[in-house]
Amino acid sequence: MPARSMPAVPEIPGVLKRHWRLVLYPVGMIPAVWLVWQGQHGALGADPVNVFERSLGLWAFRFLLACLALAPLRRFTGLNLLRYRRLTGLLAFFYASLHLLAYVGLDHGFDWLVLWADMTHRYFIILGMSALVLLIPLALTSNTLSMRLLKRRWKFLHRLIYPAAILAGIHFFMSFKTLNSVSAPYLAAMALILLSRLLPRSQTGDGI
């Protein structure tokens, strides 16, 4: 094997090569742990609940972007990272769920009257919640067994990520009072990725 003839390159232990998930899932959760730690040590500033809640939402949006970027990345650069779609998609769902939990529990102290009014009156909240609801069946069927059982329907079902991304994008845009240098790059990236899916596929396209 050529790898053996190049001792300068440290070898990735075989266990990690086969079980990269064991490493990458915890790595993806570091921001959540870091935010909780900061929150408990006064490092999130004067309004920690607000910063915590917004940061979790931003991480959900980042992972959603990463997940959606993998197909165009292969199409336009040839770099194939498609096997990380499940990882990034599940992490997006993980952060979106924590984001909701922070809003329901930490911010509103499970005040169901306030929450019900939010869910029935405010487009900002309805859009964000709808995006999360659309991600639930995707998370539930993200395993190989579901892929095998659902066959062609699996691919169709997982196109729900596009409406989810659009809803999340509008929710994200609305979470700021004005368009600004924080949100604009994320929104531009999301728009580019979604638009790239509308480009006509080449003859050799494989439908990814």
Contact between 26 and 65 under an 8 Å Cβ cutoff? The reply is: no
How many CA atoms, within 13 angstroms, populate the side-chain half-sphere of residue 180?
7
Site for other proteins (CB under 8 A): how many residues?
Answer: 34
Contact between 109 and other proteins per CB under 8 A: yes
- For other proteins, which is the closer residue by CB, 27 or 117? 117
Contact between 185 and other proteins per CB under 8 A: no
x/- letters, 26..45, toward other proteins (CB under 8 A): ----------x--xx-x-xx
In the list 24, 32, 49, 170, the residue contacting other proteins (rule: CB under 8 A) is 49
Enumerate residues 6+ apart whose C-beta is below 8 A from 84.
24, 66, 70
For 178, other C-beta atoms within 10 Å of its C-beta total: 5
Give, to the nearest 10 degrees, the angle between helix 183-196 and helix 48-77: 30
- For other proteins, which is the closer residue by CB, 125 or 157? 125
Contact between 118 and 160 under an 8 Å Cβ cutoff? The reply is: no
- For other proteins, which is the closer residue by CB, 61 or 103? 103
In the list 25, 34, 112, 123, the residue contacting other proteins (rule: CB under 8 A) is 123
Query: Could you tell me how many residues make up the chain?
Result: 208
Interface with other proteins by CB under 8 A: which residues?
36, 39-40, 42, 44-50, 52, 106-109, 111, 114, 117-118, 121-125, 174, 176-182, 184
